[in-house]
Amino acid sequence: MEKSRVLVVGATGYLGKRLVKASLANGHPTFVLLRPEIGADIEKIQLLLSFKEQGAKLVEASFSDHQSLVDAVKQVDVVICAISCVHTRSHHILLQLNLVKAIKEAGNIKRFLPSEFGTDPSRMRHAIEPGRVTFDDKMVIRKAIEEARVPFTYVTANCFAGYFVGGLCQPLKIIPSRDHVLLLGHANVKAIYADEDDIANYTIKAADDPRMVNKTLHIRPPENILSQTDLVQAWEELIGKQLAKTTISEEDFLTKLRSMGYAEQAGLGHYYHVCYEGCLTNFELGDNEEEATQLYPEVNYVRAKDYLKRYL
């Protein structure tokens, strides 16, 4: 069976570069959007050139140039967007409206995977402000996709391991301490963690899978459904010592959150929903939803406890 041609938008980002790698590794003719807005950002240019050396084709187009987007998507079968949704870095979710318009006009795209990859926005209508804007904007994109009748797959990957496992679920920390840890509430709420390379691999598999047309893929590795306490204990076993522990209550967390700037509030509000509310594990999958490890059991996903070993 011939592999679909895949266009990755946002390929120089945290997840985007992994999507390019996974697409190439899975044998897809891989195209990468080169946006003129990159300008003289030498690191991004060098990264794009490295993709070219690995066999990807660079396609120049801009979100502000509709015809260039149409011309780009006409060259492929699948479009995967990974532009940033993180307020502490950049927040460009609604730019995808231009991409949806181009895909609709081109008329040849078999599947569009918009930039999601986190918490399922359809289950976050109750999210606290200002972080709720992330989920609201993603739902705007979903509505546009479905109204345009573009075939889609939504991917919810829950918690990126680099942010949550590396920091032992502590906001603004991405390397585990060997001395102290801040516990969020009782630290017994289960969350779901996924290695970023695994997320990319599952995404590429779903993009070409007829079982995933107009469905949501939930990445829920069963051995990575863990509480903060579970992660802390795994780290303590690896380093051979107990960490000093302090606790921040739900009320104190929210009070501290309100004292932060807009971007920090938007980003860290997600920790509240994940670690206090348990928004990732308080529901069962419904119609038109599939779980990645069950669909693709051949993927030997990285266990969170093994992920921690890189910090030794």
Active site residues: 138
* SS3 of the chain: helix, strand, coil, percent, to 5: 45, 20, 40
> 57, exposed or middle or buried, with CB in 10 Å at 0-12, 13-18, 19+?
middle
Measured distance CA(193)–CA(180) in Å, rounded: 22
What burial class does residue 76 get, using C-beta atoms within 10 Å of its C-beta: 0-12 exposed, 13-18 middle, 19+ buried? buried
**Residue keyed to tokens 């093994």:** 306
What SS3 class is residue 38? helix
Chain center to CA of 301: 16
Q: Which residues of 271-306 are buried (b: 16+ CB within 10 A; e: fewer)?
A: bbbbbbeebbeeeeeeeebbebbebbeeeebbbbbe
Residues in the chain: 312
Strand residue runs (E) in 49-170: 57-60, 78-81, 85-86, 90-91, 111-113, 153-156, 159-160
Largest CA distance in the chain: 60
